[in-house]
C-alpha cells in the first residue's frame, strides 16, 4: 500500500481553518495516491484572493523547497489565483509546478468542437484579473461567473470554521446555470477555486457540460510524476 513516504506530489496549502470536506484539494482522502502538504503560514484565502500575495511569495518558495527535500518531484497549490506567481515558483523550485486549475484552459479549448469555448466559475470575479487569466493561458474573452456574494465565498474567504455544504451546492448550481445561460456556446467549465471540487458532479448535471478542476488537473499531473506500471 502506498504511504505518505511514497508521495511525489507536494501541495502548498493556504493557511486555513475552514472544513476540508471530501473532494477538497486539502483533504488527503480526496486523492487516489499519497500526497504531502506544506502550509504557508499567514497566506490566508483573503490575503491571496483579495489583497496582495506578493509578501508571501518567498514563503511559498521556502515551503516548496521543504516538500522537495521530502521527496516531492512536482509541486501544486490550493488556490487558483496563484497562477499569477507560477512561473516564479517553477523557476525557484526547479521542478514542475501546477498552480491553478485554470492552466488546463489551453488544452481544453483545443479539444472543444468548433464554435464552443470554455467558461470559468470563480470564487471572486471581482478580483480575478486579466493578468491571472493571461498567466494561466485562458483565452481572452472567456466567460467568467463569480460566486462573490455567496455564502460559500464568505465561508472560504472569511476562513470560517463551518461550511453549509447543501447551500454551497445550491449556489454552485445556480452560478453554473447563470454562466451557461449567459453564454450558451460554453462547451466545458473550469472551476478556478480548489474548494469547488466536491460540487463538480452537481455542476455537470445542472449545466450539461463537462467540468474540469484542480482534481482533474492534478490527477493528470501526478500520472506523469509516477507513470503507471502495466
pLDDT of residue 4: 58
pLDDT of residue 5: 64
- Coil, strand or helix at 124: coil
How confident is the prediction along the chain (230 residues), in pLDDT tens digits per residue? Answer: 344 568 999 999 999 999 999 999 999 999 999 999 999 999 999 999 999 999 999 999 999 999 999 999 999 999 999 999 999 999 999 999 999 999 999 999 999 999 999 999 999 999 999 999 999 999 999 999 999 999 999 999 999 999 999 999 999 999 999 999 999 999 999 999 999 999 999 999 999 999 999 999 999 999 999 998 99
Query: Could you tell me the residue ranges of all domains in the chain?
Result: 4-100+216-225, 101-213
Look up the CATH architecture of domain 101-213.
3-Layer(aba) Sandwich (3.40)
pLDDT of residue 228: 87
> Model's pTM, two decimal places?
0.95
On whether the CB atoms of residues 185 and 215 are closer than 8 A, the answer is no
On whether the CB atoms of residues 120 and 207 are closer than 8 A, the answer is no
The conformation of residue 197, written as its DSSP 8-state character, comes to: G
Angle at which helix 200-207 crosses helix 165-182, to 10 degrees, equals 40
Cβ-Cβ contacts under 8 Å for 38 (sequence gap 6 or more): 10, 11, 12, 13, 63, 64, 66, 67
Query: Rounded to an integer, what distance in angstroms lies between the CA atom of residue 70 and that of residue 5?
Result: 8
Query: Rounded to an integer, what distance in angstroms lies between the CA atom of residue 3 and that of residue 217?
Result: 22
On whether the CB atoms of residues 154 and 226 are closer than 8 A, the answer is no
**Which grid coordinates are listed for 162?**
463551518
- Choices 1.10.10.60, 3.10.200.10, 1.10.540.10, 3.40.50.1860: CATH for 4-100+216-225: 3.40.50.1860
**Which grid coordinates are listed for 30?**
480526496
Helix, strand, coil share (%) of the chain residues, nearest 5: 50, 15, 40
Amino acid at each position: 500500500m502506498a504511504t505518505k513516504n511514497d508521495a511525489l506530489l507536494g501541495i502548498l496549502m493556504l493557511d486555513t481553518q475552514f472544513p476540508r470536506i471530501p473532494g477538497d484539494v486539502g483533504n488527503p482522502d480526496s486523492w487516489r495516491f499519497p500526497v504531502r502538504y506544506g502550509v504557508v503560514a499567514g497566506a490566508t484565502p483573503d490575503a491571496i484572493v483579495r489583497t496582495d500575495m506578493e509578501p508571501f511569495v518567498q514563503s511559498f518558495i521556502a515551503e516548496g523547497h521543504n516538500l522537495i527535500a521530502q521527496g516531492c518531484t512536482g509541486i501544486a497549490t490550493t488556490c487558483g489565483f496563484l497562477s499569477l506567481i507560477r512561473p516564479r515558483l517553477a523557476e525557484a523550485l526547479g521542478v514542475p509546478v501546477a498552480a491553478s486549475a485554470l492552466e488546463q484552459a489551453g488544452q481544453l479549448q483545443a479539444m472543444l468542437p468548433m464554435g464552443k469555448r470554455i467558461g470559468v466559475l470563480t470564487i471572486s470575479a471581482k478580483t480575478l484579473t486579466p493578468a491571472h487569466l493571461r498567466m494561466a493561458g485562458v483565452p481572452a474573452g472567456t466567460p467568467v461567473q463569480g460566486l462573490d456574494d455567496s455564502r460559500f465565498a464568505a465561508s472560504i474567504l472569511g476562513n470560517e470554521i463551518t461550511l453549509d455544504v447543501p447551500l454551497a451546492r445550491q449556489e454552485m448550481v445556480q452560478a453554473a446555470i447563470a454562466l451557461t445561460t449567459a453564454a450558451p456556446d460554453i462547451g466545458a467549465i473550469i472551476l478556478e477555486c480548489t474548494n469547488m471540487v466536491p460540487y463538480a458532479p452537481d455542476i455537470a448535471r445542472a449545466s450539461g457540460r463537462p467540468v474540469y478542476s484542480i482534481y482533474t488537473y492534478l490527477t493528470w499531473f501526478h500520472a506523469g510524476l509516477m507513470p503507471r506500471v502495466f
